[in-house]
Amino acid sequence: MAEVNNPYLELTEELNRGRLRALLSSGQAVVVHRLAIMSKDGDWLLREDAEAATHALEVLSRRGAWYRFGAPLDLRWLANGWSAHLEFRRGPLRLRTDFVTRPPRIAAGWLQRIWETAQTSGTEVVGLEPLAALKLTNREKDYAVVGELARLMTDPRAQFLYSRSSRDLIELAAKHPAELAEGIRQRPLLARIGEGREALDEALDRERRTLMRANEDRLGQYQVAAESWAAEWPAVRRRIEGLPLLEAHRVVTSAAEGTLPFAPGPWGDP
């Protein structure tokens, strides 16, 4: 990584002081991969253990951060896919710091390999393939990023899974038929490569709309589960106004217990 004098890189370094705990993700990771600057907020994949959560809170406390509406930075919620959101000021900058430990569209085994790879390589940034998976959101602009991320991938199997270009896919298929056969099992639209660009473009559009709706449905589940917490939040926010972050964290956590279910679905608790 380059000399650290960017606020998000500095914060990542501080989060990882002494031990790898956090990988810079989403829009700021896209910058590190040198694709585009599209977001002013920071997002980290946090290791799911108590020391990592405590360290993150301590780092943010030293920066004078405060809680935004969201889940507490507490593993009982984070382990069920919730996100925690904090914010602080540095000079003219409003820096938002968002954390998840269970990112969407990344299964447990893959998540474990992400951490193992990061530990081995020493990287502090989410890699191309998981970043592409994270970007399969309900926002149109993210699919442009996924398309370019796929072009940076060196493994044709990964390119087959994430490419958003019919031209690229047709060219890849000509060069890598064995990897294509493997890819079709994971991404059915690849079976249409032989039908030409028009059919493939239609399949890519349909796949994008399906992915966008799936993410909307996922967010909808969390929104419903957070209704009571949303109603209570203005009062909680008033209670933590001006409190040091570690103290505010105790207030937020205590208020969320019994109001924000640990898991978002009807299968969750409390």
Partner 1 sequence: MSGPRDEFLSEEDLDLRNLSDDELIAYWNLWLEQAQVTNSLDADLYSHGVFEREPEDPDQPSDPAPRAR
> Which residues of this chain interact with partner 1, rule CB under 8 A?
2-3, 5-7, 9, 25-27, 31, 34-37, 39-41, 43, 68-70, 81-85, 92-94, 96, 98, 100, 137-139, 143-145, 147-148, 164-168, 171, 218-219, 222-223, 226, 230-231, 233-234, 237, 264
Encoded amino acid at 207, one letter: E
- CA pair distance 51, 57, nearest whole angstrom: 10
- CA pair distance 196, 200, nearest whole angstrom: 6
Taking the least distance from each CB to partner 1, the nearer of 55 and 82 is 82
Helix (H) or strand (E) holding 30: helix 26-32
- Phi (first) and psi of residue 94, to 5 degrees: -90, 115
Q: Cα–Cα–Cα angle for 98, 4, 23, nearest 5°?
A: 35
Taking the least distance from each CB to partner 1, the nearer of 59 and 146 is 146
The least CB distance from residue 258 to partner 1, in Å, is 18
Taking the least distance from each CB to partner 1, the nearer of 119 and 220 is 220
Taking the least distance from each CB to partner 1, the nearer of 154 and 185 is 154
Q: Measured between alpha carbons, how far is residue 65 from residues 10, 85, 172, 194 in Å?
A: 15, 10, 47, 54
The least CB distance from residue 41 to partner 1, in Å, is 5
The least CB distance from residue 135 to partner 1, in Å, is 11
Taking the least distance from each CB to partner 1, the nearer of 13 and 41 is 41
- Cβ neighbourhood burial of 257 (10 Å; 0-12, 13-18, 19+): middle
Encoded amino acid at 164, one letter: R
Token look-up 């991320």 returns: 149
CB 57 within 8 A of CB 88: no
Taking the least distance from each CB to partner 1, the nearer of 39 and 54 is 39
The CB-side HSE value for 6 (13 A sphere, CA atoms) comes to 14
The least CB distance from residue 146 to partner 1, in Å, is 8
CB 229 within 8 A of CB 254: no
The least CB distance from residue 110 to partner 1, in Å, is 19
Encoded amino acid at 4, one letter: V
The least CB distance from residue 106 to partner 1, in Å, is 14
Taking the least distance from each CB to partner 1, the nearer of 19 and 40 is 40
CB 82 within 8 A of CB 221: no
The least CB distance from residue 117 to partner 1, in Å, is 22
